[in-house]
Chains A and B, each alone.
Chain A
């Protein structure tokens, strides 16, 4: 049997995994799965060869509430795929903003813009684009932090090497942070 990729309700994606290991991954009949050759992400329960492997579907109270809410307000609060809730991807805005606060390279701004775009894409119905954008936003905020810290440390070592005996207080007044 072939391996499948899957999307959990909390938007954690995983795989490829063999159907024999679906249960330990918590894949239910509602979990979206995909393998090469399938047209689109499909609830695992709808695929004949997987029926014996998936856990029974769970109707969580939270999902039901969101459905009633969005039908009440008549606004697209949550996206659905064959009645399956596709949660908003985690755009990692917190990490993006954090990287602009404590990092000397303003790369975090790119992460913030991308994180903001995740919401726009999600609410305009472009789910896959939103997921990709969320990935990209996460990578940018991580790299902004890493680049900032690494560059500062390299810079410091260079300074120590070049200036040698310059007084500490004198240095910090020149070099910031």
Chain B
């Protein structure tokens, strides 16, 4: 299959952005940098949102401190395996295998459970 010029350009841009982000989060500690993005939710409501801790966690992860990375946001225990399963379906499988995989991974009970845990985590972390 031929790739269109537009999609090649987009993919290159996305890759560049990705590597840029990795380099940025490796070299800058978000807890020390005033100019790193701050959460709007937290600012408005005072609550930690479900994603809060993501930047500090990524920084720790890139420095090999996995335990530290997890402590910033325990929801990664749920979201990372789910993301990995989705990524396998998207990039490693083709045809029938992909459809079968998606039937389990994207089953509506799995999706609803993820959404339920998302809101549960939001509530729990603000207790």
Contact = CB atoms under 8 A, between A and B. Distances in A.
Interface of A: 10, 26, 62, 65-66, 69, 77-78, 88, 91, 93-94, 97-98, 100-106, 109, 112-113, 115-116, 119-120, 148-149, 151-153, 155-156, 159-160, 166, 168-169, 171-172, 174-177
A152 B99 contact: no
A165 to B, nearest CB: 10
Interface of B: 1-2, 30-43, 48-56, 75-76, 79, 82-83, 86-87, 90, 94-96, 99, 102, 106, 108, 111, 114-115, 118, 122
Contacts of B40: 104-105, 151-152, 155
Contact of A101 (B42, B54, B95, B99): B54
A171 B54 contact: no
Contact of B96 (A10, A69, A103, A156): A69
A10 B43 CA distance: 43
Contacts of A166: 34
A94 B102 contact: no
A156 B118 contact: no
Contact of A26 (B2, B43, B75, B76): B2
14 contacts: A77-B96, A100-B51, A100-B79, A101-B54, A104-B39, A105-B41, A113-B115, A116-B108, A155-B43, A171-B34, A174-B42, A177-B36, A177-B42, A177-B54
